[in-house]
Each structure stands twice: as structure tokens, then as C-alpha cells.
Amino acid sequence: MTEYMTAPDTNGAPPLPKRAGVRSMVPTTWIDRTVRIEYEAASGASRETTATLLDWSPVGLLLNISGGKTLLAWERLVLAELQEDR
């Protein structure tokens, strides 16, 4: 059981249990949903578009933008907002 516990803090408080389950950068309920994306283009200009969120990776978001699979790096991402179902 101790392998699931974090180290105690400097005040000697008892250790807290680690969070169980998968940690995700974006909610899994967003997968295959339309999102509004604001990002910084390679030229430095700001861009905005809608896309379908396919998945995410440690590098960034995997999106379907205008029929093309696109990886948008976290460093370029400004906003990812879930769009309402129509």
C-alpha cells in the first residue's frame, strides 16, 4: 500500500493517497466533438478556426481541420473551447 502514497510534507503531516485513474489534458468527453481553436500561426499571427478533436498527445492536440489531420502543438495553442451541439 505504501507504493501508492506520496511523500509526507515538511510539517510531518501524513501522506495523501495519489489520484487514481488516467489524467488527461482535455476531457475525454470532448473527443469527436467540434471545438473552437485559437492559436498562433508560424508567422506569429493569431488564427481562429473550428475543428473536430480527434485525440491529444504529450506534444499537442490532434485535430481534423477542413478534412485534414493536424497536430497543433501546446506551445501554439491559445484557446480550445467546446462548441455547443446543434
Q: Is the pTM of this model over 0.85?
A: no
- Read off the pLDDT of each residue in 3-28 and give the average, rounded to a whole number: 65
- Read off the pLDDT of each residue in 32-39 and give the average, rounded to a whole number: 94
Nearest to 58 by CA among 42, 81, 41, 74: 74
Higher pLDDT, 66 or 18: 66
- Write the burial class of residue 30 (CB in 10 Å: 0-12 exposed, 13-18 middle, 19+ buried): middle
- Read off the pLDDT of each residue in 25-38 and give the average, rounded to a whole number: 89
Task: Name the band, by pLDDT with cuts 50, 70 and 90, for residue 3.
Answer: low
Structural domains in the chain plus CATH codes? 22-82 (2.30.30.100)
Higher pLDDT, 70 or 16: 70
